Amino acid sequence: MARANMLLLVAGCVMLAAVCIEAANFEFQFVEQIAPGNEIRSFGPKDSNEDGEKANGYVYSNVATEKVNANSAVYGQVGGLTFYTSNTESEEVFSIKFADIGAKGGRFADAELHCRGVWTYSDDGKDHSEQELAIVGGSYGLANAYGTLKYTRSGDSNAWTVKGSFQIDDCVLA
């Protein structure tokens, strides 16, 4: 009897499958305001002879606004960790938490995108003016998101224009 029940359970599980109908595509843009001195060093190299930023890790939290003007509408918050793997590259792991933008209570309402990638610097330690990072997931209405973020420096300011393009596969159980 136990075997018969087990076979029915296995057969039922095999029949249950997720079918992805189509991917929903999304794009957004905001300006990330980088406040000087806003990063907090959270760890450093074991070897005190290290020079430059290599092996240092920093946590940060920046405001995402509608325009380059820091007093424009707030679209959300960008926060995460920067870990320097060399003096010209750092690993970025961060989340973008959106305010309730667009349709009230819509897909972006209090949702997050999870991102990561390599941020690059010139030999003298300055950010390259264009960067591209990956969207590797999300939460709430943005769960299972994947795509890219393109960062472009906004003039000589500490602001970066961020353009995001991502997909979410809409799946149903069959």
The predicted-structure confidence for 68-101, as pLDDT tens digits, reads as follows: 998 999 999 999 999 999 989 999 999 999 987 7
Mean pLDDT of 139-161: 93
Is 11 within the bounds of a domain?
no
Q: How far is Cα 170 from Cα 19, in angstroms, rounded to an integer?
A: 9
Which pLDDT does position 147 carry in this prediction? 98
Is 31 within the bounds of a domain?
yes
Rg from Cα positions in the chain: 21
Is 6 within the bounds of a domain?
no
The residues pairing with 26 across neighbouring beta strands, listed in sequence order, are 166
CATH number assigned to the domain comprising residue 54: 2.40.480.10
Is the pLDDT at 49 greater than 90, yes or no? no
Domain that includes residue 75, residue range: 19-173
Q: How many domains does the chain have?
A: 1
> Is pTM, for the whole model, over 0.85?
no
Is the pLDDT at 25 greater than 50, yes or no? yes
